[in-house]
Amino acid sequence: MSENTAHPIATVPAIELVALSKRFGTGSAAVDNIQLRIPPSSYCCLLGPSGCGKSTTLRMIAGHETVSSGDILLENRNITDLPAAERGTAMMFQSFALFPHLSALDNVAFSLRMKGVARAERESRAMALLERVAMGALAQRKPGELSGGQQQRVALARALITEPRVLLLDEPLSALDPFLRIRMRAELRRWQKELGLTFIHVTHSQEEAMALADLMVVMNHGRIEQVGTPHQIYNDPISEFTARFMGGHNVIETPTGLIGVRTDHVRVRPDADTGASDTGALRAVVSDVEYQGTYVLLGLQTPGVAADAHAEAPWSAMVPESVFLARPYQLGEPVWLDWDPAQARPLKA
C-alpha cells in the first residue's frame, strides 16, 4: 500500500483490513493481501475498474463474502468470522433492494420486525429516520410510486435503522440519471457529516469518488494501487495505472523514465511560434477538438514518443475557452507542446 495517506491515521481506525485476501476456486486472487486503515467518521471510496476487487472487499467487510485469509477489524474488534447482522455494519445496495409490496415505512422497519421489536416502537423509529431523510410525507408509498432519488433515501433509512457504526455503499448512484446522481452524491456527503458515521463507498466513477471522498483507495487487480485524498491522488499519482485511470494526465516515456503531466499543464503553441523549437518543445498535430464550455480539450498526436510499439502516442491538452477563441486550432494543424518540468510527476510503470 502507498504511504501517500490522506491524513494522520486515527489511533483506532473505524475499519482495518489486515493482509486481507479472497480467492475463488484455484484462480488468481480477487483480493490479494491488502492492508488498509480507514479513519472513523470519514468518507472512504474504493475506486477502480471492473474486476479490481473493490466490491469483493466491500462484501467481505459486510459479511456477505467469506474471507480466504487475513482479518477485518471494526474499532479494534475482530469481525472477520461474525455473521453480517452482528458486525456493526450495514449495506446499501446498488439496486436499493426494497420490497416492492411494502410501504416505505414498512421497508425501513423490516429488520426490526425480524428482530421481534414491537410494532409501535419499530414504526416510530422508522418514521424518525424517514423524517431525517425528508421522506416522512411519503412513508405510506410503495417503491414503485417513488422516484429513484426517493427510493435511495428509503434505502438509506433502512440501512440506518440498525444503528451501524459503518455504512457500506455498493455503487449506490449508478442506477440514477446523471442529474440526479450529482444531486444525490451531495446528499450522501451531507448525511455522512450529519450522522458522523464512517461511509465506505464502492464506485468505478473517478468524478464520484473525487466529489465524495475524504480518503480514496485506488485498486487494480485485487491490490491497492494508491491511497490518499482526492487532491493527492489527482495531483500526485504514483503509478502509470493511477495516472491513466484517474484521467486528466499525459503519461510520457522520457530518457530518464516515465512521467505524468496533467492535461491543463500542457502548453500548446502555434507552429509558427518562433523560437519554440529552442525550448525543448515537442512537435505535434491536432487530432481532436472538443468544446467543454470553460475549456477546449485538444487531442494531439506526437510522433516518436510512444511508450509502446505504436507509431504515435495520444496526448491531451486543456486550452481555456478565451485562449482558444482568440486563437482557434484546427484538425490536422501542426503545433508545439511543452510543460513546466516542475509540474511533471515521476510514475512507476
Q: What is the mean pLDDT of each run of 10 residues along the chain (349 residues)?
A: 44 92 89 96 96 96 96 96 93 82 94 91 93 90 90 89 92 82 87 92 94 96 96 95 93 86 93 67 91 94 55 78 95 92 89
Domain boundary among 218, 238, 258: 238
Instruction: Residue 150: count other Cβ atoms within 10 Å of its Cβ.
Output: 17
Torsion of CA 264, 266, 271, 275, to 10 degrees: 130
* pLDDT value of residue 17: 97
Q: Which of 238, 266, 293 is the last residue of a domain?
A: 238
Domain boundary among 238, 260, 288: 238
Q: Say what the pLDDT of residue 93 is.
A: 78
Exposure of 24 by Cβ count < 10 A (0-12 exposed, 13-18 middle, 19+ buried)? exposed
Instruction: Indicate whether 34 and 127 sit together in one domain.
Output: yes
Q: What are phi and psi of 277, to 5 degrees?
A: -70, -15
Same domain, 218 and 260: no
Is 297 within the bounds of a domain?
yes
Q: Are residues 73 and 213 in the same domain?
A: yes
Same domain, 192 and 273: no
| Distance of alpha carbon 109 from alpha carbon 162, whole angstroms | 10
The answer as to whether 7 is a domain residue is no
Residue 3 maps to a domain:
no
Query: Is position 1 within any domain?
Result: no
| pLDDT at position 222 | 96
Find the CATH number of the domain harbouring 69.
3.40.50.300
Residue 282 within a domain: yes
| Helices assigned H by DSSP within the chain | 54-62, 104-114, 119-132, 148-160, 178-195, 206-212, 230-235, 240-246, 321-326
Pair (174, 257) in one structural domain = no
With cell 410525507, the residue in question is: 137
Residue 243 domain-assigned (yes or no) = no
Residue closest to 61 by CA, chosen among 149, 139, 164, 152: 164
Are 215 and 265 contained in the same domain?
no
- Phi and psi dihedrals of 48, rounded to 5? 165, 170
**Residue 5: inside a domain:** no
Q: Are residues 232 and 341 in the same domain?
A: no
Give the pLDDT score at 278: 60
Count how many domains the chain has.
2
The letter for the amino acid at 79 is I
Confidence at residue 306, expressed as pLDDT on a 0 to 100 scale: 43
Cβ burial 188-202 (10 Å sphere, 16+ → b, else e): bbebbeeeebbbbbb
- Give Cα 77 to chain centroid, integer Å: 27
In the prediction, which pLDDT does 102 show? 94
C-alpha cell, 333:
494543424
Q: 163 with 31, same domain?
A: yes
Q: Which domain holds residue 331?
A: 248-346
Task: Tell me, yes or no, whether 206 and 86 share the same domain.
Answer: yes
Does 333 fall in a domain? yes
- The confidence score (pLDDT) of residue 311 equals 39
Q: Within this chain, do residues 85 and 113 fall inside the same structural domain, yes or no? A: yes
The burial class, CB within 10 Å (0-12 / 13-18 / 19+), for 205 is middle
Are residues 45 and 187 located together in one domain of the fold?
A: yes
Residue with cell 479494534: 76
Identify whether residues 183 and 300 lie together within a single domain: no
